Amino acid sequence: MIANTDPEFAPIATRIRDNVGRQGFMTHVGAELSELTRGSCTLEVDRRPELLQQHGLFHGGVTAFLVDNATTIAAATSRGQAALTAEYKLNLLSPAVGERLICRARVIKPGRQVAVVAADVYCLTHGVEKHTATALASIAMLDEKAAARIQSPA
């Protein structure tokens, strides 16, 4: 669902976008939150020398970061509550060569305590997407008390 057809989602989306905007590592990497709907999230980053490994491919750490962050954001949209990554399994399918790295995450099973979220990562080259990674994540959903105990420097 998109925010226009789900009026209850609009304040959740605003809060999430604000929180993501305060993440220093998002800024450091140059990633952007390009799509946000209830239960899904897309993060993207353009190719830059700082994000590449020795063979000129996107570093696996960049792929892992996008998966980590996108799956957590997607989980947070499903219930409108704070979330933290508990674990994820990442499969690198092919070399991440291209102009842009795109990570699309979607909630498979929202849960009160744990959400299961899948993510797929693509490299964009000359307008064509190539599937370069896939992941499955368990995301811990935090209640208001637990979220309030975590002091954020952002």
CA torsion sign, 68 to 130 to 40 to 119? negative
pLDDT value at position 79? Answer: 83
Decide if 87 is inside a domain. Answer: yes
In a domain, residue 13? The reply is yes
Residue 102 domain flag: yes
Write out pLDDT tens, residues 29-52.
Answer: 999 999 999 999 999 999 999 999
Is residue 76, in this structure, part of any structural domain at all?
yes
Backbone angles phi, psi at 153, to 5 degrees: -80, -10
Domain assignment of residue 142, yes or no: yes
The residue behind tokens 């008390």 is 145
Hunting for tokens 């491919």 — which residue is that?
A: 57
Interval 118-147 mean pLDDT? 92
Judge whether 94 lies within some domain: yes
User: In terms of residue numbers, what domain contains 88?
Assistant: 3-149
Mean predicted confidence (pLDDT) in 87-93: 97
What domain count does the chain have? 1
Q: Return mean pLDDT, the chain.
A: 91
Average pLDDT score over residue span 112-136:
97
> What is the CATH number for 22?
3.10.129.10
- Tell whether 154 is covered by a domain: no
Q: Is residue 86 part of a domain?
A: yes
- Give the phi and the psi of residue 88 in degrees, each rounded to 5: -150, 155
Contacts of 52 (CB under 8 A, 6+ apart): 58, 59
